[in-house]
Amino acid sequence: MTELELLVDLHRRQARLGPGSDAHTLLALQLAGLSPAPDLCVADIGCGTGASTLALADALHCPISAVDFLPGFLEELGSRATAKGLAEYIRPVVADMTCLPFAEGEFDLIWSEGAIYSMGFENGIASWKSLLKPGGVLAVSEITWLTRDRPKAIEAFWSANYPGIDTASGKLRILESQGYTPTGYFTLPASCWLDSYYRPLAAGFDAFLARHDNSEAAGHIVEEHRREQALYEAYSDQYSYGFYIARRDN
Ligand SMILES: C[S@@+](CC[C@H](N)C(=O)[O-])C[C@H]1O[C@@H](n2cnc3c(N)ncnc32)[C@H](O)[C@@H]1O
C-alpha cells in the first residue's frame, strides 16, 4: 500500500477529517445568511467523508456538489448520506480543487472546511470566486494564528508545513483584496480539535496498525499523528482554524 492509501484507510472511518463540528458548521451557515431553498446551488470542496456536506444538506434541503479528489472518501460520504436519509441532496464529484468542472457563476454558496490549504488560501479564494454568483457566499476554515508573537518551535513547525498561515486580520485583508466582503469570522475551540478529530482518530490507531501488520509505514503515520496532536495540545493558545465567511462583491 502506498502512503496515500494508508492515510485513506486510517481516515475514511472518521466523521471528520480535520477540526470542526456540526454546531460550528451551522454557526458559519447562520453567518452566511442563506435560508433553506430547494433551488440553492452549493458546493463543498475537499468534503472528505462529508460531515459538513451532510450538515448543510440537512439544514438547506438543496443539492450539494460534494467535491474531493479521493473517491474512497466520497464512497463513505455516500453511505453516510443514505444512512441519514440525505442521499437525494448529495452530488459526489471526484475532482481536483485546482481544476473544478463547474460553470462560472454556478453557486450561491461555496463551502470548504480544512481543505483550502491544499492549494493555498489566496489561490483558492481567487480561483473559486468565478464559480460564485455575484453576491454569492464563500465559507472556508483555514489554519490561523491567534497571537501576534509565537514561541519559536511552533512558528518553525508551521513555517515549514504551511507558510501561508497568518493572523485573521491578514486573511481578511486577502479576502478583501480578492473581491470579497467579509461578513463573519470565528475561531474553532479546542473541542473541535480534540473531541471531533484527534481523539476519535487515535481511538482507531490500534486497529489500523493491526490491519497493516504493524508495518513500518503504518507505524510512521501513527507517530506523525501523535506528534501533531501533542503539538496542538502544547500550543493550542497559539493557533486554531478560523472560519471565514465572505460575500462575492460583483
Ligand atoms: C483535512 S481534510 C478535511 C475534510 C472535510 N472537509 C472535513 O472537514 O472533514 C482535507 C480534504 O481535502 C481533500 N483534498 C486535498 N487536496 C485536494 C485537492 N487538490 N482537490 C480535491 N480535494 C482535495 C482531501 O482528500 C481531504 O478529504
Cβ proximity of 208 and 226 under 8 Å:
no
Closest CA to 245 of 183, 195, 191, 200: 183
Three cell numbers, residue 122: 489566496
Cβ(48) to ligand 1 under 6 A? yes
pLDDT digits (tens, 9 = 90+) for 54-81: 999 999 999 999 999 999 999 999 999 9
Closest CA to 174 of 212, 209, 140: 140
pLDDT digits (tens, 9 = 90+) for 35-46: 888 899 999 999
Rounded Cα gap, residues 178 and 197, in angstroms: 31
Cβ(132) to ligand 1 under 6 A? no
Indicate the top mutation candidate among 5, 47, 140, 161 to test ligand 1's pocket, ranked by most ligand atoms within 8 A of CB.
47
Cβ(123) to ligand 1 under 6 A? no
Cβ proximity of 174 and 122 under 8 Å:
yes
Cβ proximity of 122 and 178 under 8 Å:
yes
pLDDT digits (tens, 9 = 90+) for 136-173: 999 999 999 999 999 999 999 999 999 999 999 999 99
Closest CA to 49 of 23, 78, 24: 78
Cβ(47) to ligand 1 under 6 A? yes
Ligand 1 center to residue 46 CA distance, Å?
4
Ligand 1 center to residue 226 CA distance, Å?
20
Q: Does the domain at residues 17-189+239-248 carry the CATH identifier 3.10.180.10?
A: no
- Where along the chain do its domains lie? 17-189+239-248
